Amino acid sequence: MDLVLASTSPRRLELLARIGLVPSRVAAPEIDESPLKGELPRDYVGRLARSKAEATTRAPHEVVLAGDTTVAVGRRILEKPADEADLRRMLTLLSGRRHHVYSGICVIGSDGKPRVRVVDTVVAFKLLTAAEIDAYVASGEGMGKAGGYAIQGRAEAFVRFLSGSHSNVVGLPLYETRTLLTSAGIALG
């Protein structure tokens, strides 16, 4: 079986390489990623992962893997920041608080059946000073990242507590991904 990654995220490619997988191809499915009115973060990422997998063309010998990650404070979904002011708003909101990082993953194997899992990791940031927020915004690292931060970068120094999967916060929960891929026929050592 060949693996198709329905994501252009370099972080997901790096994470798959950690478990010895290199996709045979990468697809970039076009779907509307807007949250539905009243949609909870857990439901949101599960729906997006499934939609991305189903929007990806799959040959009979291919297994599709799609994922989506978001940061949530309560019911509020923090998507990728639109600009530096939005990033500053997100970091201020996360400062000194616990939040959830949800990843939805969907695997579709030769049987055509979508297998979906949602993983929740709880993260708590230290109380950030205005200077820390300014420096992080100036670094540019948080742009293009769900919730406005990259735990695999400078923002890891802000984390005072983490409960759950670290790889989930990076963008792909490896344990659950490995389990789903194995169940769909991808051979792993």
Active site residues: 68
DSSP conformation letters of 118-136? EEEEEEEEPPPPHHHHHHH
Could you tell me the CA-to-CA distances from 93 to 35, 53, 181 in Å, in that order?
19, 32, 36
Cα–Cα nearest to 68, from 164, 141, 171, 176: 171
Nearest by Cα to 119 from 168, 75, 166, 78: 168
Residues 187, 94: Cα–Cα separation, whole Å: 39
Helices marked H in 95-188: 130-139, 166-170, 174-183
At 115 the three-state DSSP class reads: strand
